[in-house]
Structure 1
Amino acid sequence: MTDWTPTTSHTARLARAALLKTIRHFFDARGVLEVDTPLLSQATVTDVHLDAFNTTFAHAAGPDAQTLWLQTSPEYAMKRLLCADSGPIYQICKAFRHEGAGRFHNPEFTMLEWYRPGFDHHALMDEVDELLVATLQCDRAERLTYQQAFQRHVGIDPLTARQDQLITALDTHQIDIDAPDTLPRDSLLQLLFSMVAEPLMGQQTPVMIYSFPASQAALARVNQTDPRVADRFEVYFKGIELANGFFELGDASEQRQRFNQDNQQREANQLPQRPADERLLSALDHGLPDCAGVALGIDRLLILATGASAIDEVLNFPVSRA
């Protein structure tokens, strides 16, 4: 067997160490506390587009067997810390998503996630911009609304386009799928955005896309001025999706409703339902401070910092050699 060797060069390993040092210095200088939360949890995400790994905990000396989940992100636990008056916090940790390995994704990856009480998503975009300049020595990011980016690259208005116009756009951009008329509107939008717009965005400088459709709010607030959109942003650079941020939803009842809606969609898609995270909901009932949060892929950031062409070049042992 010859595949025992790492897929990184020693130069890449040095670059990772330097990048982590720069990130920690960045947050230390701003008074943001580094924290640690469990990777194994009794709850997981309900998001239709995320699939989590699970394992059975059945130690002879413990309680009855229970399912534990490897976390897709430390978000829920970090929000519980925020509700317990942690103040601004960040975490660098492993995250796990049950998705196919590819050029920019490994099922186990390293995530940077941070939360800023008192910030909205625009203030957090400013800080993300500063971090990118510090780590990549790049120019300041361009900012576009989702609507502007969609119109620029796809050629239609995503907030007003009818179902038939979205299906026509698939043909225009030579996206061939079976039975597009059976897909919900959001799936058509996401298909067009990911296959047409994303590869073209941020080729010279990073780009921050904000004001996503409210139907794609995830854990973000719906915008108070324009209820068609959510206070959410994503960051792209050289065709790579790098970060996903929110002006965080703090309403426990609305969050429970979104969990329920996720599970209804899961059922419609013949996917297993996931229980709502009751500890998170209890924490939100106690009170989440007004804050913004963002998750950023460290491995993808390292690809950009080193000029690598794929994630395997910055991981010592990707899943194929784990």
Structure 2
Amino acid sequence: MTNKIELFHLQQAIRNFFNKDGFMDVLTPPIVENPGMEVHIHPFAIHSVHQNKTHELYLHTSPEFHMKELLQEGLEKVFTMSYCFRDEPNSSTHRKQFVMLEWYRANENYKKIMEDTINLYQFCHAHLKSKGVRVIDLDDKIKKVTVQEIFLEVLNIDILELIDRDNLYSLIDQKFSRITLSGNRDDYAWDDLFFLLMYNYIEPEMEKYSFLLLYEFPSPLRALSTIKENDPRVCERFEVYCRGIEICNCFNELTDSSEQSFRFKKDAKLKGELYGYSLPWPNRFLSKLEIGLPKSAGIALGVERLLMSLTGMEEDAFYD
């Protein structure tokens, strides 16, 4: 039995939430020249059956590039909700195609997106309940902590004092027995080591929270986000975990085209080293960034994961 009706109710609640706040509901192209530059996210290439060849086009892994174009063209509050596609194995929390919600605010800081996210979660809970959908009680308080604070709480280490890769490697090797470091020290990037600690120690502790907002990530995880002006050890981004499952990822958006190009080059190099392939250079996105992107913030949220967090459903209950 599928849960498509509950999913449709949730999608309607999301539209209602953004419509009442004056957001424009937009669609972006699912077939693109560049699907995104994230190192560990793999796209599907478009294959022409009758010509028996693969073209230099891809299914998008996120609508992010096109959404930022809309900000550059003058729109201030936009959201989109449609399928995205990622070439990774199915699991309890991953599917090859999934419904993604993204929204962006021009001339706002990412803290405003924090408010949106909390309000959206509560609004959707109330809407589903009004439609007779069985939802989990929201008795637990919403918890907001920095990454530094949760590492101190769970592991008693200050992760911001361990931005050096060799120092973090040595600490894990000496003190964290759940993690086996195989191969050479140089085989691990800083973010590999960080996520080994997250997956093995931090995320299991998150399962007790119905809504945990984790913000101010260490600067090596900056991706497309800005660096905090008064503390360059951290970047301005947040994620929300509901009972240990990540449901969304937000950036205070980087608007410097030179810095963005520098980060893309590093990511492209690492993707080639790790996975043996490269993607077309994101010329269109960078050209728009050079024209000028307003200060803005945006977020990507997995809609099926949101439904899981609100109802306790398992992902294998969803339909393709």
TM-score by length of 2: 0.88
Amino acid at match of 1:164: S
Between 260-269 and 119-128, report the one with greater CA deviation. 260-269
8 Å Cα contact 1:167-1:188 kept in structure 2: no
The partner residue of 2:94 within 94, 97, 105 is: 105
C-alpha distance in 1 between matches for 2:4 and 2:212: 27
Partners of 1:149 and 1:303 in 2: CA distance:
24
Deviation (angstroms), 1:46? 2.0
In the alignment, what sits opposite 1:40?
Answer: 31
Tell me the C-alpha RMSD between the 2 structures.
1.9
1:119 lines up with 2:120 in the alignment: no
| Alpha-carbon distance, 1:180 to partner | 6.5
Q: Percent of aligned positions with the same letter in both sequences?
A: 33
Structure 2 counterpart of 1:33, one-letter code: M
The reply to whether residue 175 of structure 1 matches residue 175 of structure 2 is no
Cα deviation, residue 118, structure 1: 2.1
Shift of 1:248: 0.3
Structure 2: how far apart are the matches of 1:105 and 1:53? 15
Secondary structure of the corresponding residue to residue 289 of structure 1: coil
Which residue number in structure 2 is paired with residue 166 of structure 1?
172
1:1-322 paired onto structure 2 within 5 Å:
7-8=1-2, 12-57=3-48, 66-136=55-125, 138=138, 141-161=142-162, 162=167, 163-171=169-177, 174-179=178-183, 181=185, 182-201=187-206, 203-308=208-313, 310-313=314-317, 315-317=318-320
Compute the displacement of 1:34 (Å): 0.5
Distance 1:144 1:218 in 2: 20
Unpaired runs of 5+ in structure 2? 127-137
CA deviations 1:244-268 (Å, max 9, x no partner) are 0010001111111111010122233
Displacement of 1:223 after TM fit?
A: 1.1
Relative distance call for 1:187 and 1:216 in structure 2 (3 A) is same
Q: Which amino acid aligns with 1:53?
A: F
State the alpha-carbon separation in 1 of the partners of residues 25 and 295 from structure 2.
20
How far residue 185 of structure 1 moved from its aligned partner, in angstroms, is 2.2
Does the Cα contact within 8 Å between 1:53 and 1:98 map onto a contact in 2?
Answer: yes
Larger deviation, residues 50-59 vs 220-229: 50-59
* SS of corresponding position for 1:269: helix
Name the CA shift for 1:180/1:166 in 2 (closer, same or farther; >3 Å). farther
Measure how far apart 1:194 and its partner are: 2.5
Q: Following the alignment from structure 2 to structure 1, what is the Cα–Cα distance between the partners of residues 86 and 200?
A: 21
Q: How many angstroms apart in 2 are the aligned matches of 1:169 and 1:233? A: 28
What residue identity is the alignment partner of 1:119? E
The number of residues matched between the two structures is: 301
Residue identity opposite 1:227 in structure 2: P
Q: How far apart are the structure 1 equivalents of 2:54 and 2:145?
A: 49
**Alignment gaps of 5+ in structure 1:** 1-6, 318-322
Output the CA distance in 2 between the equivalents of 1:65 and 1:273.
14
Distance 1:66 1:179 in 2: 37
**TM superposition score normalised by structure 1:** 0.88
1:246-299 alpha-carbon deviations (Å, 9 max, x no partner) = 100011111111110101222332531223211111111111111110000000
Distance 1:14 1:267, change over 3 A: closer
